[in-house]
Amino acid sequence: MPDSGSVRSEKCREMLVLALAPALILALILSSWGLAHWHIGPLYLNASLALAAVLLGGTPRFIVGFKDGFRGRITVNVFVTVALAATIAVGEFRPAAIIILIMSVVGALESYTLDKTRRSIQDLLKLAPQTATVRRNGVEVTVPVAELQIGDPVVVRPGERIPVDGTVVAGASSVNQAPITGESMPVEKQAGSVVFSGTFNESGRLEVRTEKVGESTTLARIVHLVQEAQATRAPIQNLADRFTTWFLPTVVVLAILAYFVTGDIKAAVSVLLVACPCAFAIATPTAVTAGISNMARRAILIKGGVFLELGHKLDHLLVDKTGTFTFGRPRVMDIVSFGGRTPSDILHLACIAEKYSEHPLGRAILAAGKEQGLSIPEPDHFNSAAAMGVEAEWEGRRIRVGKQAYLRDAGLKIAPPIDQALATQADQGRTAVLVAQNDEPLGLLAIADEIRPEIPAAIRALKAMGVKQITMLTGDNPQVAAAVARAIGVDDFHAEMLPEQKQSFVKQCQAAGEVVGMIGDGVNDAPALAQADVGIAMGAVGTDVAIETADVTLMNDDISGVADFMWMSAKVLRRIKLNIFFSMIYNVIGLSLSVAGLMTPIVAVIFQEAGCVTVVISSTLLLWSKGRPGTA
């Protein structure tokens, strides 16, 4: 990892690059002023230095201004070009140079704000190793990452970065994946765990099956999403274009009026200078990009300003169940004994029977046994009945694990108390698996998709942010859906929904005048994510289709991030309005004084650009906003 010295050096280089143009322009202005003040050399010499400063900093803006003017578009650059041309025409070279200087300083600050997200995200690409250790024909060899293929077994030693997205097939370790998911603590990884390119393997040795390389990795997708965000404009940004279209003709009329009132052409030039709408033009993009950058550091990726503007307006949130409210994997939630056997004994027998099972419920049972540290011996015989259960023999005992019907078909008697226990689990939305030894049912294992522990708190946070209704949508059966809905406290739920039904429900809510957000993680959620006003994908567990379709991605899979997104949306919109207020106040006061002949061109320049500095500083402060109340 880069040391603090190299980081400081990089920051110093960035600041020097940003300050280079303003520094050169300032040097030319001071030289021009010094020559004029001490009457050194001919007049044209100091004027030439000031004009050189104008051309050095203003040429790119003038070129764009002329192009926009020839196309019949009245933009901020056209406005600046007209104002500076008038200033130079009346011989006020240093005021023109000063406005270029201040615009260069403001531009440097604006670039710092607008590029912070891009630079911080692009730095993530440097985290991805260029080479990888891969096992081929039983030998470990080092190859360029670009040569890796899907399925390659990659070896990652302690202290190395993981070069691919994939699944751990051997080994165990703690992995720091803060750059991807924002988690502050290392995450324990073992066989079956998903790992991401660019994350840091801290302790153990891992062998990873390659599943994504290059542009398809999560790391590369993050860069892609943020680049899209940079290119998307919020609707409120169009205000600047509409404002400039009618404002320039108005200012020209005011400049003419100022000339007739004062009889001084410099008063007319002052009107043009003080009215440059630079502050108004940058009021929105600087605030939006600062908000996007702040959220990116919190592992919440926003594709563009339009979605940041909509975020605080969400009043109906639709949420997929599996993988969003739940982890999307079955887990043993309870063990019920029908006799004197302990829950540990029942689980042990079930694990023996399921040792060779490929069924998800079988894997959940084995995972529960592993959590309890049970030693699972090999069964002497194994047989499975598809979608019904398994049967195994061990030490002369016949063990059966499966559905009620499976055990009945095998001739086992299911007593009424067992039926009642099964019904109780079904009411809780759980799948009950019976465990029998020889011809005696010993107990049951209650298995369900585990609810994420942070969900109840996240729902309270969303309600506090103004979400009026939270509805759970799922393709699961009504009993399971009802149980999850009760446990987490959502307002409503709809079960057994197909993808097109989810999309239709989004349309129905929108037709009722609601601003709809949709949270999902799977391919089946993609139509609804695309239809919603704001589609929100779970980034770590979500499918590529869901992430590409969504407008916002939660890289740490914590839906409380939606509340953070809504909070930042409201904060950015307030900051945009404050920025516009600042720019309008500066313009109104400046125009009033200029029309009255109370401003010189230099004072007009300083006054106008003070508005730009105020707006940029106001927006930049969003980069360091700590977060909504109640969060770290």
pLDDT in tens, 273-314: 888 777 777 788 788 888 988 898 888 888 877 888 889 999
Which residues have CB under 8 Å from 84's CB, separation 6+?
A: 54, 58, 62, 96, 99, 100
Angstrom distance (rounded) from CA 303 to CA 282: 19
268 has a pLDDT exceeding 90? no
Contacts of 89 (CB under 8 A, 6+ apart): none
| Nearest one of 533, 504, 525 to 319, comparing CA atoms | 525
**Per-residue model confidence (pLDDT) at position 437:** 92
Catalytic pick among 320, 449, 525, 557: 320
Segment 604-619, tens digit of pLDDT: 877 877 888 888 889 8
534-to-290, 294, 520, 555, 627 alpha-carbon distances in Å? 20, 19, 11, 16, 21
Residue 596 backbone phi and psi in degrees, to 5? -80, -5
* Average pLDDT of the residues in 485-494: 91
- Whether the predicted model's global pTM rises above the 0.75 cut: no
- pLDDT band per the 50, 70, 90 thresholds, residue 7: very low
HSE, CB side, 13 Å, CA atoms: give it for residue 113: 27
Is residue 394 within 8 A of residue 380, CB to CB? The reply is yes
Band (394; pLDDT cuts 50, 70, 90)? very high
Q: Above pLDDT 90, what percent of the chain?
A: 28
Instruction: Grade residue 184 by pLDDT with cuts at 50, 70 and 90.
Output: very low
Cα–Cα dist 535/553, whole Å: 9
SS3 141: strand
Which of 116-120, 213-217, 407-411, 536-540 is predicted most confidently?
Answer: 407-411
Tokens 């601003």 correspond to what residue?
515
Cβ neighbourhood burial of 450 (10 Å; 0-12, 13-18, 19+) = middle
> What is the per-residue pLDDT for 385?
79
Q: Is the dihedral of CA 154, 160, 162, 163 positive or negative?
A: negative
Mean pLDDT computed over 560-570: 94
Q: Quick one: pLDDT at residue 264?
A: 86
The residues near 399 (Cβ < 8 Å, ≥ 6 apart) are 349, 350, 352, 353, 379, 391, 392, 393, 435, 436, 437
Q: Over 90: is that where the pLDDT of 528 sits?
A: no
The closest of 144, 120, 115 to 130, measured between CA atoms, is 144
Concatenated DSSP letters for 429-487?
A: T-EEEEEEETTEEEEEEEEEEEEPTTHHHHHHHHHHTT--EEEEE-SS-HHHHHHHHHH
Amino acid (one-letter) located at 40: I
Answer yes or no: is pLDDT of 115 > 80: no
Contact 290, 622 (CB under 8 A): yes
Q: What percent of the chain has pLDDT over 70?
A: 85
Residue 1 has pLDDT above 70, yes or no: no
Q: Is 544 exposed, middle or buried (0-12, 13-18, 19+ CB in 10 A)?
A: middle
- CA dist., res. 113 & res. 616, Å (int): 8
With contact defined as beta carbons under 8 Å apart, do 498 and 278 qualify?
Answer: no
Q: What's the burial of 599, exposed, middle or buried (CB within 10 Å: 0-12/13-18/19+)?
A: buried
The mean per-residue pLDDT over the stretch 176-184 comes to 57
- Identify whether 165 is a catalytic site residue: no
Least confident span in 174-183, 287-296, 458-467 = 174-183
- What are the backbone angles phi and psi of residue 284, rounded to the nearest 5°? -85, -50
Structure confidence at residue 229 (pLDDT): 44
CA nearest neighbour of 612 among 62, 78, 103: 103
Interval 230-261: pLDDT, tens:
454 445 555 555 666 777 788 888 888 888 88
Which of 208-212, 387-391, 496-500 holds the top average pLDDT?
Answer: 208-212
State which CATH number among 3.40.1110.10, 3.90.1150.10, 3.40.50.261, 3.10.20.30 fits the domain covering 328-450: 3.40.1110.10
Q: For residue 472, which of 458, 487, 491, 444 has the smallest C-alpha distance?
A: 491
CATH architecture of the domain 294-326+452-566 equals: 3-Layer(aba) Sandwich (3.40)
Distance of CA 368 to the CA centre of its chain: 34
Question: Where do the structural domains in the chain lie, given as residue ranges?
Answer: 4-122+226-293+567-624, 131-213, 294-326+452-566, 328-450
Q: What is the pLDDT of residues 126-164, one digit of tens each?
A: 667 889 999 988 889 999 998 999 999 999 998 899 999
Q: Of the ranges 180-189, 402-411, 563-572, which one carries the lowest mean pLDDT score?
A: 180-189
In whole angstroms, give the CA distance from residue 263 to residue 240.
Answer: 32
Residue 543 three-state SS = coil
pLDDT tens, 318-363? Answer: 998 887 888 877 889 999 999 788 999 999 999 999 998 877 788 8
The region of weakest confidence among 14-18, 181-185, 321-325, 507-511 is: 181-185
- Going by pLDDT thresholds of 50, 70 and 90, the confidence category of residue 270 is confident
- Going by C-alpha positions, the residue among 235, 246, 329 that lies closest to residue 573 is 235
Q: Please state, in angstroms and rounded to a whole number, the distance separating the CA atoms of residues 526 and 520.
A: 8
Which has the minimum average pLDDT: 78-87, 492-501, 583-592?
78-87
Higher-pLDDT residue of 478 and 444 is 444
pLDDT above 80: residue 499:
no
CA 29 to chain centre: 44
The Cβ of residue 11 has, within 10 Å, a number of other Cβ atoms equal to 10
Provide the sign of the torsion angle of the four alpha carbons 301, 307, 309, 315, taken in this order.
Answer: negative
Average pLDDT, the chain: 83
CB neighbours (10 Å) of residue 416? Answer: 7
Q: How many CB atoms lie within 10 A of CB 146?
A: 10
In this structure, the number of other CB atoms found within 10 A of the CB of residue 114 comes to 21
What does CATH list as the number for 131-213? 2.70.150.10
Report strand pairing: 300-302 vs 316-320. unpaired
- Statement: residue 53 has pLDDT above 80: yes
